[in-house]
Structure 1
Amino acid sequence: MAFASPPELPTHFHLTTKKTHHHHLLPSQAFLKINGDPQLHPNINLTVAYQGAPGAYSEFAAKTACPNSKTIPYRSLIDAILAVESGYVDRAILPVESTMEGSSLRNYNLLLQHDLHIVQEISLFVHYCLLAMPGVRKKELKRVMSHPLALAHCVRNLAQLGLEREPVEDTAGAVELLRTRRLFDTGAIASSRAALLYGLDVVAHGLQDESWNVTRFLVLSKDSDLTQKGRVGLKTSLVVGHHGSGGMEVVLGVLSALSSRGINLTKLEVGSNRKEDGVVRILDVHGRRGIQEFPHVLYIDFEGTMEDEKVKEAIDEVSNLSVFVRVLGCYMADPNVYDLF
C-alpha cells in the first residue's frame, strides 16, 4: 500500500524559500525548515533537556530551536523539567500541542507546577516512518512499537498492515529496543533520521493517518529571556485559574480586556483536570501561597509583552475578575514549521 508523502505547506503559512542547515552537533546531521530560517541562539554552550532517547522528535525540536546546543536525554518530562529547575541544564523542551491531538493539557500542567519561563516556541512537522531491522521486509513484520500518541496517529494505516501495536515510552526508545534486542518480526514508528542514527531500514514513509501533522514545542528556562525586551514580534503566554462559578463571565472578561485594547489573541483554551482529582495545580511564583488549586483554568497566548502599557492594563482588568493570573513567558513568536529530511 502507498502512504502519504510530505504535504505542501497550507496556504495560511507564508511560504518562503526552502533552505537546508547543517549542524555538526545535530544527531540527524541536518534539518530542513519548511519556510524561513530558525532563530539561531547566540549561546553555543547551552544544554537542553528532552524526554526520550537520542533520535526522539523532542531532541530534533531542541536542536532546531537551539542549533549549537548540547542535548541531554531524560526518562520523563518531569525529570527534564526538574533538571532545569535545579540548574543542571539551561533549557528543557516541552511538547504542548499538535494538529492531530490538540493541546496536551497534562504537559501544560507540568509547567504550571514549576517556576520556569517560556523563552521560545518551535513547531515541527512530524513525518512518521516504519523502521525495521536491516534486510527485513514490511510483510515480515507482525507488530510495531512506539509512543502511544505515535501509534494513535497511525492507527488506520497500521490496521491495514495488520500489525499488533505495542506502546513504549517514546519513539526513539522503540528504535533503541528494536536494535538492541534484534527483533526481526517487529517494527518501530519513528523518523527517518532515527533510522540513520541506529542503522535501521525504512520500510514505509508517511505512516501518519493525516498528512499534515505538526507538533508545537515550548523551550523552558529558569530565567526569563531579558534579551527580548524592546523587540517586535513578541508574544506572551499566561494562565488564569478560577473556581468555576461564573466561568463564562471569566472567558468573556478576558476577551473583553484584550479586544478592547486591540491586543491580538492567538490562543484561548479552557482546561481542567478531569482525569485525576479534578484540580489543576499552579505554583504562585510571586506570592507566598505555594501551590494553588483550581478546578478550571484558561491557557492564553497573545501578541505583545508585559512592557506594553495596554497589556498591563488588560492584565489588571483580568485580575479584577477574582481569578489567579500567572504570566508563563514572553518570547519571540515563530509561525514557521520545521521539517526533518
Structure 2
Amino acid sequence: MALKTGLIWGSATPPHPHLGLADLGGRRAGRALNLRFDFERFRKWECLAVLGQRATIPVEDEKPLRPGVESPGGADEAKETEPRAFHRDLNSLPRPLSATDPSSSPSNGGKVRVAYQGAPGAYSEEAAMKAYPKCEAVPCDDFEAAFKAVELWLVEKAVLPIENSVGGSIHRNYDLLLGHRLHIVGEVQMVVNHCLLGLPGVRKDELKRVLSHPQAFAQCDMTLNELGLLRISTEDTAGAAQIVASDGLKNTGAIASARAAVIYGLNILEEKIQDDCDNITRFLILAREPIIPGLERPYKTSIVFSLDEGPGVLFKALAVFALRDISLSKIESRPQRKRPLRIVDDSNKGSAKYFDYLFYIDFEASMAEPRAQYALGHLQEFARFLRVLGCYPINR
C-alpha cells in the first residue's frame, strides 16, 4: 500500500511560532520508522509530516463562571462594608495578558519571561518561579492566552498545570496542546497547600460562601462540606482572593495560597484544608522550540495519537512499548472534537456508533534511544495520527 504521508522540511527560524515536532502519519509498511537525525541540523530545521487526514481538536471544557460584584444572596449581603484598600497597590501588579489582547509590557532586565494562568499569587506563578527562580512571571487571563503569549514571542516559556493527584487531569490544557504548536520542554511537580482566607477581623464561622477555582473545590471537598459554605467558581484561586479583598466581602472567604494572602492583605483562617495532605500538581513547561534529547539522563516523551477501528487495536498500540521495556507513566483519552462518533458497519443490527478518541501517552524513554524510535515506528502500523508533543528530562 502506498504511503499517505509526505515529509516536508520547514525552517524553524523566528518568527514562525507555529512549527512543531514531527506529525508522524500512519505508515502501513511493516518496517520501523527511521527517526535518527542530525541534532545540529535539527536545531534549525524540523520535520513535519503532512497527513492525508489531520486529527481534529477534541472537545473543549467549559470555563467556570466568574462571579460578579454581587453575590447570589444580593448586593446587601455580599457587600456589607465599603471596599477596602489592597495590601499592595494594584498598579504595581503586572497586568494579565488575554487571548484577545496579548500586548506585552517591557521585559525586566533581560530576565526569562514565563507565562502562567491566573493573577499574582496563583499556584501556577509559584510553579513558574520554582522552574525559573529568577524569571519574570507574566500573568495571563486564561490558558489560551498563555499559549498565545509564547507563540507570539511575548514570553519565552509557559508553565501550566496538567494534572493533580486529587482533582485529576486538566482537560483544557490537553486540548490546547493539540491545538497549538508548542513543545513540552520540562515539568514541575509542586505540593499545593490550600488556605482559607478572609478579610482581617473576620472569623471562620462568619463565612457564608467561598470563592475559588473548581479544581480547588474538588481538592477541599470534605472540609467545605463540614463548613457548609456556598461555593462560587472563579477563574483562578488568586483571583478569588483579589475579589474578596477588593470588594470587601466580610461574609465571603477564598481558597488560595498563603502568598495570595500576603499580596491581597487577607488573613489565613485555616491552613492545609485540602482533603489529602499529599496534594501534588504537575505542571508542564512549554516553549516554541523542542529540547534536543540525549542519553546522559532519564527522559520522558509525550505523544498523542488516534487509532483505526479493530479488535484489540489499543492493546496492540500499547504493546509496542511493553515489547521494548518502555514504561508508560500516563495515558489519557479525549474524544475528538469535530468528529466524536465513528460509524462502524454491524452486519446484524446495521450501523453502530462509537466514540472516536485521541490518546495522550507519556513514556519514559528518550527519543535519542533506538528503542523509542522503533516503538513509534511500530505504533504507526496502527495509528491514523501520531504527533510527538515533547521529549524532556524527567523531574525526579
User: TM-score under structure 1 normalisation?
Assistant: 0.76
Code of the aligned partner of 1:297: L
2:305 to 233, 240, 244: 240
Work out whether residues 151 and 182 of structure 2, in 8 Å CA contact, stay in contact via their aligned partners in 1. Answer: yes
Work out whether residues 167 and 218 of structure 2, in 8 Å CA contact, stay in contact via their aligned partners in 1. Answer: no
CA distance in 2, matches of 1:101, 1:250: 30
1:310 to 371, 379, 383: 371
Alignment of 1:162 with 2:233, yes or no, is no
CA distance in 1, matches of 2:221, 2:328: 34
1:189-244 C-alpha deviation (Å, 9 max, x unpaired):
00112112222110011211222211111010010123x4343111111111235x
1:153 to 215, 219, 226: 219
Work out whether residues 166 and 218 of structure 2, in 8 Å CA contact, stay in contact via their aligned partners in 1. Answer: no
Code of the aligned partner of 2:185: V
CA distance in 1, matches of 2:130, 2:266: 23
Alignment of 1:54 with 2:117, yes or no, is no
Alignment of 1:97 with 2:163, yes or no, is yes
Alignment of 1:320-339 (within 5 A): 320-335=381-396
| Partner residue in 2 for 1:83 | 149
Alignment of 1:1-341 (within 5 A): 45-226=111-292, 228-243=293-308, 245-246=309-310, 249-272=312-335, 279=340, 295-335=356-396
Work out whether residues 306 and 383 of structure 2, in 8 Å CA contact, stay in contact via their aligned partners in 1. Answer: no
Work out whether residues 198 and 268 of structure 2, in 8 Å CA contact, stay in contact via their aligned partners in 1. Answer: yes
Query: Which region of structure 1 is more displaced relative to structure 2, 109-118 or 319-328?
Result: 319-328
CA distance in 1, matches of 2:126, 2:206: 30
Per the TM alignment, residue 271 of structure 1 is displaced from its structure 2 partner at its CA by 2.8
Per the TM alignment, residue 129 of structure 1 is displaced from its structure 2 partner at its CA by 0.7
Per the TM alignment, residue 116 of structure 1 is displaced from its structure 2 partner at its CA by 0.5
CA distance in 1, matches of 2:378, 2:338: 30
CA distance in 2, matches of 1:83, 1:321: 35
- Alpha-carbon spacing, 1:106–1:278, altered in 2? closer, same or farther (3 Å): farther
Identity of aligned residues (%): 43
Work out whether residues 261 and 268 of structure 2, in 8 Å CA contact, stay in contact via their aligned partners in 1. Answer: yes
Code of the aligned partner of 1:202: I
- Alpha-carbon spacing, 1:322–1:164, altered in 2? closer, same or farther (3 Å): closer
Work out whether residues 302 and 389 of structure 2, in 8 Å CA contact, stay in contact via their aligned partners in 1. Answer: yes
Listed as ranges, the gaps of 5+ residues in structure 2 are: 1-92, 94-109, 342-354
DSSP 3-state at the match of 1:323: strand
1:286-338 C-alpha deviation (Å, 9 max, x unpaired):
xxxxxxxx921111111122211111111000011142110010111113xxx
DSSP 3-state at the match of 1:144: strand
CA distance in 2, matches of 1:89, 1:304: 29
User: TM-score under structure 2 normalisation?
Assistant: 0.66
- Alpha-carbon spacing, 1:198–1:263, altered in 2? closer, same or farther (3 Å): same
| Partner residue in 2 for 1:39 | none
Per the TM alignment, residue 102 of structure 1 is displaced from its structure 2 partner at its CA by 2.1
Greater gyration radius: 2
- Alpha-carbon spacing, 1:84–1:250, altered in 2? closer, same or farther (3 Å): farther
CA distance in 2, matches of 1:123, 1:278: 34
Code of the aligned partner of 1:269: E
CA distance in 1, matches of 2:264, 2:283: 24
Give the aligned CA root-mean-square deviation in angstroms.
2.1
CA distance in 2, matches of 1:167, 1:93: 22
Per the TM alignment, residue 260 of structure 1 is displaced from its structure 2 partner at its CA by 1.3
DSSP 3-state at the match of 2:115: strand
Per the TM alignment, residue 249 of structure 1 is displaced from its structure 2 partner at its CA by 2.9
CA distance in 2, matches of 1:230, 1:251: 29
Code of the aligned partner of 2:367: M
Listed as ranges, the gaps of 5+ residues in structure 1 are: 1-26, 28-43, 281-293, 336-341
What is the number of equivalent residue pairs in this alignment?
276
CA distance in 1, matches of 2:254, 2:139: 19
Per the TM alignment, residue 278 of structure 1 is displaced from its structure 2 partner at its CA by 5.4
DSSP 3-state at the match of 1:307: coil
Code of the aligned partner of 2:291: D
